[in-house]
Structure 1
Amino acid sequence: MITFDEACRRIAGIARPLGMETVPLEMAWNRVLATPVVAAHMAPCAAVSAMDGYAVRDADIRAGTNRLRVVGEAFAGPGGHDRPLEPGECVRIFTGARLPLGADRVLIQENVQAVAGEVCFEGSPGGARHVRAAGSDFAPGDVLLEAGTPLSPQALVTAAAADCGTLQVFRRPRVAILSTGDELVSPGHAAELRGAVPESVSFGVCALVRAWGGEVVGRRRLGDDLAALRSAARAALDEADVVVTTGGASVGERDHSKTMFTPFGMTCVFEKVAIKPGKPVWVGKVGDRIVVGLPGNPSAAMVTARLVLAPLLAGLSGRSPASALAWRTATLGAGLGDGCDRETFLRARTGPEGVRSLGSQDSSAQRGLAATELLIRRPAHATALDAGAAVDILAF
């Protein structure tokens, strides 16, 4: 059995990007850039107005002129005013419109009066010229987004501004999920069968896979028949980069999550981790495929998926595996008792006075998962802590 930190190191060692592909800009959200985004043009492409108002010559203003003739209009896009401004002239201009030649200041419309083809103003217009200089945002050849950048909504705006219609991104890991257990049935049918349990874990794992950059290519619910499990394992290995099993990770007679992969030459990356919940979690490799075995208990499965599967998917999709384990310090809003002989991850949420552990920490509990916002990390053999103490937390 290895420590959690050692498990993280081993995950980082196998979580390498899977290759690149080109996707349309509109399909690039939540992907990771494989190559930089470089500006193809200058922005703005010319000096433009930052406000609605009147484009003027600053020389006229400094000479004390307070009445100017309006000789045209300028709109954003092709509707500009192409004739250079002469002394004493101005142009009605709108935000984003190109300044006429000779204009180098915009008087905002709230500060002038327009009467009979002229504008009048009093006093000094102040220091702000309300002009966006050509190239003031970026120039051709500027790197606007580095390789490895996660494509957030904000980053997509920047990529589009660079005039990129497609982006080179890292390929998303394909993930197949196999839920095992004779007792499991599809949600909506458990009440019809004695001893049946709704299969719930795969739905949470699917969502977590998508959140961390993966693509779910298969989800199957299976009984505990070893021959059928091995057939499903073979099919999953053929279609996916990562196969996730839930259940069957312990040492019972029907716990086949590892043996179902034995015929395919699986080697173990690790078999158990000294954590609570989730000690039975394991990771293996079949060629270039990765297999992750999660416990069957729902809370244990989701905690270990967050701690093990999320950094694996992050690394495979082009992020740093460590980016999925961004621990930070928070203040306890209520005390904690002594820890146990394993490193423990408590399901918790934020309260008015700090973070609080949820009442039930049972590995099979499911009701409290909906309220879980974060995990509190406690070392093995931790001593009791009072409210106000500092703890390490991770967004769940």
Structure 2
Amino acid sequence: MARRTVEEHAAAIAELLAPALTPTPTVVPLAGARGRVAFTDVRSPVDLPLFRNSQMDGIAVRAADVASVPARLPLRGTVPAGATQPPPLDPGTAVRIMTGAPVPGGADTVVPVEETSTDGTHVVVHRGRGAGEYVREPGSDVTAGEVLVPAGTLLAPRHLAALAAAGLDRVTVRQSPHVAVLTTGDELIEPGTRPSPGQLFDANATALDAACAEAGAQVVVRERTADDPAEFGAALARAVAGADVVLTSGGISQGEFEVVRQVVGPTGGWVGSVAMQPGGPQATAVLDGVPVVCFPGNPVSTQVSFAVFVRPLLRAAAGLPPIRPVPLPLADDVRGMPGKRQFRRGRVDENGRVSIVAGPGSHLVAAMAASDVLVPVDRDLAAGETVEVIPL
């Protein structure tokens, strides 16, 4: 059985997935753009503000008319937000104005309402304001043609608000990689159903679906099959037809009912092992030009394999920032396993030290849930040693 190092397998998967994960653009409505990455610079089609408007509820005046206070001026009506452009303001007069309302021609300042008093026909301004105060000029935020959101921006609500304010209702983003998830095993049943003796709930479908979404990908096919080569082969054909990348779990060890190995092996794919724990059995293939990456079926093995080999590639394709290893000290001694890299599950304490959570077993899903980092262990490590942990 062929065996690779972790680095060799990571490089092989990166090469395998590269053609399928070439970034491509797609246009989406703003309502579906949060968390996506802008593919190109987005330029504003308009000046913002769109027109000269008031920053405050107050009184629009000429600054020269309130240079000496108190100043008593006749009121010439009210300009509400949403009004059309009001007539010009005559010298020596004032007009009530609401926040966001267009400022009349001739008026060059807005006095906040708190700094005035009125008897209904006249207003008394108690504090003078200079020209331009509380008046928003068109283009003072951004001018037409200026970059509003740069390419590569991870779109958050604040970015979408800026696009909407400029009148845009859609944006060009990186296409999310389309992934198919196939889980296998006669023993697997859907969570929420009642298990019979010997049956297990399928955790891997949920884990891979959520992990793909977190990595910026979209799961477009999700199926579970029994350990039947014909059934799995048909599901694999549907997955290849509908996705950029296919991920499978289970069926690649050395037992008698290893359905993925039975179907993928004869296609010329690689079926072997990686010098790691958990996640030793691994396989890859290309079917009709679509890469297939096969993980072992134990739940922790599947999650570790995804985090180590596939998550970085999906995130890069989606334009998301990489999740980089973090150097942290160990809280306790850790014993390694000769010839294999262990990915122990760990938790960072309030002092920034990493404690190992439970044992190395690939079935310990509760321990995985209680962890927030993977701790690569190539040898015996002593408490206090610094290790490069992988955030989960």
Same fold (TM over 0.5): yes
CA contact (8 A) 1:72 1:81 kept: no
User: CA 1:284–1:66 in 2, change beyond 3 Å: closer, same or farther?
Assistant: farther
Query: CA 1:87–1:213 in 2, change beyond 3 Å: closer, same or farther?
Result: same
The number of residue pairs the alignment matches comes to 385
Aligned: 1:111 with 2:115: yes
Does residue 87 of the first structure (1) align with residue 84 of the second (2)?
Answer: no
1:225-304 matched pairs, under 5 angstroms: 225-266=228-269, 268=270, 272-304=273-305
Does the 8 A contact of 1:339 with 1:378 survive in 2? no
- Specify the SS of the correspondent of 2:171: strand
Matches within 5 A, 1:190-229: 190-191=194-195, 193-229=196-232
Deviations 1:329-366 (A, max 9, x none): 5676x445344454444434454434554632432112
Given candidates 40, 44, 49, the residue that maps to 2:45 is: 40
CA distance in 2, matches of 1:95, 1:11: 57
**Cα distance change on mapping 1:33 and 1:271 into 2, 3 Å:** farther
Q: Which structure 1 segments of 5+ residues have no match?
A: none
Question: Once structures 1 and 2 are overlaid, which stretch shifts more, 270-279 or 222-231?
Answer: 270-279
Is 1:58 the counterpart of 2:57? The answer is: no
The yes-or-no answer on 1:367 pairing with 2:372 is no
Q: CA contact under 8 A between 1:25 and 1:166: conserved in structure 2?
A: yes
SS in structure 1 opposite 2:260?
coil
Deviation at 1:124, TM superposition (A): 5.2
- Which moved further from structure 2: 46-55 or 121-130? 121-130
Q: Is the Cα contact below 8 Å between 1:241 and 1:288 reproduced in 2? A: no
Amino acid at match of 1:363: S
TM-score relative to the length of structure 2? 0.84
Displacement of 1:11 in angstroms is 4.7
Code of the residue aligned with 1:297 in structure 2: it is N
Name the CA distance, whole Å, in 1 between partners of 2:327 and 2:80. 51
Q: CA RMSD in A?
A: 3.1
C-alpha displacement of 1:140:
1.0
1:45-82 per-position Cα deviation (integer Å, ceiling 9, x unaligned):
122222222222222333455333322222222x1452
Letter in 2 for 1:257: V
Once the two structures are TM-superposed, the CA of residue 375 in structure 1 deviates from its matched residue by: 1.2
Distance 1:127 1:277 in 2: 70
**Higher mean displacement: 351-360 or 177-186:** 351-360
Change (3 A) 1:309 1:378: closer
Quote the offset at 1:236 in angstroms: 1.8
Residue aligning to 2:306: 305
Residues 237 and 84 of structure 1: CA distance in aligned 2, closer, same or farther (over 3 Å): same
Matched, 1:337 2:334: yes
SS where residue 281 of structure 2 aligns? coil
**CA separation of 1:18/1:354 partners in 2, compared to 1, >3 Å: closer, same or farther?**
closer
CA distance in structure 1 between the partners assigned to 2:56 and 2:29 by the alignment: 33
**2:287 partner amino acid:** V
Residue 326 in structure 1 maps to residue 324 in structure 2: yes
1:111/1:395 CA distance change after superposition, 3 Å: farther
Contact 1:209/1:215, CA 8 A, preserved across alignment: yes
Amino acid of the structure 1 residue aligned with 2:264: F
Partner of 2:138: 134
Corresponding position: 1:102 with 2:100: no
CA distance in 2, matches of 1:105, 1:351: 56
* Counterpart residue number, 1:183: 187
In the alignment, residue 334 of structure 2 is paired with which amino acid? G
Q: 1:246: Cα distance to partner?
A: 0.7
What residue identity is the alignment partner of 2:76?
Answer: V
Identity between Structure 1 and Structure 2 (%):
33
In structure 1, give the amino acid aligned to 2:300: S
Q: TM-score w.r.t. structure 1 length?
A: 0.83
Distance 1:306 1:200, change over 3 A: same
Verify the 8 A CA contact 1:11 1:311 in the aligned structure 2: no
Which 5+ residue runs of structure 2 have no aligned equivalent? Answer: none
